[in-house]
Amino acid sequence: MPKKKVERPRAYERPEPFPIYIAKPLELAERERLRQIFSDPVFRKALQNAHAQKPKTNPGGTGVLGITEFSEKIAANRLHQLQGWEMFEAALFAQAEERVIHKPPVLKENFQES
């Protein structure tokens, strides 16, 4: 008799691989809650674990001994990967910051008539 495959309930629903979202600025209460989340020890541990998974700066095949025709492309690709990691983290943490909306002063024309 074949075994029945038991489906485990998922703890959460993962988003689509490349969802399209529209940026919605956070309200003050939401930014304060986000700061609390960032200071949570569990979040800090998860962030440290994510940093441990970050790609290393020296990919294989790009060193002095391993120079090939593709080594520049491999190195450029790795830099793009690292930039993506840093940009995502910066975008996440920037949401907790206060947004200052600067409205430039209205210019008044004050030409003298001759």
- Domain assignment present for residue 67? The answer is yes
What's the rounded Cα separation, in Å, for the pair 58 and 75? 8
Residue 36 domain boundaries: 28-94
Instruction: Note the pLDDT of residue 29.
Output: 92
**What percent of the chain lies above the pLDDT cut of 70?**
87
- Residue 51 falls inside a structural domain: yes
Question: Does residue 41 lie within any of the structural domains?
Answer: yes
Say how many domains are in the chain: 1
Quote the pLDDT of residue 37: 95
Separation of alpha carbons 95 and 33, rounded Å: 11
Residue 40 lies in a domain: yes
Judge whether 103 lies within some domain: no
Residue 49 maps to a domain:
yes
Q: How high does pLDDT run on average in the chain?
A: 82
The C-alpha atoms of residue 97 and residue 90 are separated, in whole angstroms, by 11
Higher per-residue confidence, 98 vs 95: 95
Overall residue count recorded for the chain in this entry: 114
- 63 found inside a domain: yes
At 114 the pLDDT is 66
Q: What is the pTM of this model?
A: 0.58
* Mean pLDDT along residues 75-103: 86
> What's the N-to-C CA distance of the chain in angstroms?
104
pLDDT at 61 over 60: no
Which among 4-8, 25-29, 31-35, 80-84 has the top mean pLDDT?
A: 31-35
Residue at 38 is within a domain? yes
